[in-house]
Amino acid sequence: MIYDLTSFSEIISRLRWSGSEEQDTSFRMIFRFQRKINRFAYSHRLKLEKYLGDGAFYSARDAYRMLIVGLQVQRYYRQALEENFPFNRGMRIALNFAQYRLLPIHGGGVGEPERYEFFGHGVVELSRLTTGKSMREIEEIKMLLVNLGYPETAVHRFFAPLATGQHDVVDKHEERRKFFAYINRNGNMVNEGIVVTEAMVGRLAAEEIAHHIYPLRYEGRSYVALGLELPDGRCLAGLRKLGIVKLKGLDPVPIYELVDGGPMPPGLRPLPGVDLLAALERSYASTLTEAGSASS
């Protein structure tokens, strides 16, 4: 799992122009935020692999616990916003099931300890899934210009029309939600919620959690739900297939959206004898049929 705060660098740049007291308060808040998330992870036996400045990278041995922590992180971010958390542009989370490797990096001096960096296809997928393709490229160009000495405010102002030009591919119906993920008309992934790879869904399907799946209608969309045990009670974690997205430097990747469906209604019955993957494909096919009928 990787989580990432939206527009982190831009917000940091803005804070540099504010007073020292506001800067100190903001940095204390993000320190407490990351510490709280680390406690969630630790309580479910997730391993913190690396802090990423505006997020962190965690690993675990099973998908069920990762699913729980992903939803807890999103819930805590929602709570933080209610407490005037300054990094308020959104949060993106990606979940994957894949292998990665540790690459030892030797220190330059005698007696300096080794450190390790992560590499591998699974880590690349996660980093792409938190930001998508085109926005990452824009952010990289912006950071390059700032590092070359251009004023940060001038750089952000220069790229503002490009952001405005993307409005024709914004799905306003999707983005009315607090957290959302979808594939736009250009085929780019927009992630301001939680996205899950097909490999991760396949891993979930092989675990005990997938023995009972439930129907879920949430924010006008149909999901296939799993029942999770969270500290405040049993809740539904909804999954729906978004489609296949082509991310920078990767083969086409089938992706799914994960949503917090809230408390499980009393008396809700599971779908009889249905496999998780089959149920998701059936729901996806139904969505495509409905979309085709609406456009004809």
Q: How many CA atoms lie within 13 A of 112 on its CB side?
A: 9
181 and 196 in contact (C-beta within 8 Å)? no
The pLDDT of residue 137: 58
Closest CA to 56 of 74, 72, 37: 37
The pLDDT of residue 61: 87
**In terms of C-beta distances under 8 Å and separation of at least 24 residues, what long-range contacts does 168-173 make, across chains too?**
none
The pLDDT of residue 134: 46
Burial of 167: CB neighbours in 10 Å, binned 0-12, 13-18, 19+: exposed
Report how many domains make up the chain: 1
Q: What are phi and psi of 124, to 5 degrees?
A: -60, -45
The pLDDT of residue 119: 58
* Residue range of the domain that includes 80: 2-295
User: Structure tokens of 166?
Assistant: 């993307």
H/E element, 273:
none
Strands 233-245 and 221-230: antiparallel
Average pLDDT of adjacent 10-residue blocks, the chain of 296 residues: 86 76 84 93 91 85 93 95 91 87 61 61 66 56 78 79 56 87 84 93 93 92 93 91 83 91 92 89 85 55
Instruction: Round to whole Å and give the CA distance between 109 and 220.
Output: 59
The pLDDT of residue 21: 78
The pLDDT of residue 158: 78
125 and 238 in contact (C-beta within 8 Å)? no
Instruction: Round to whole Å and give the CA distance between 195 and 203.
Output: 15
Domain with residue 201: its CATH number is 3.30.70.1230
Closest CA to 213 of 263, 280, 284, 282: 280
Using CA atoms, how far residue 117 sits from 48, 51, 57, 104, in Å, is 13, 12, 12, 7
The SS3 call for residue 105 is strand
Strands 2-5 and 180-183: unpaired
Residue in this structure with the two tokens 């690396």, named with its chain if needed: 50
The pLDDT of residue 98: 80
H/E element, 204:
helix 198-205
The SS3 call for residue 248 is coil
Burial of 293: CB neighbours in 10 Å, binned 0-12, 13-18, 19+: exposed
Using CA atoms, how far residue 193 sits from 5, 92, 152, 186, 245, in Å, is 11, 5, 27, 19, 16
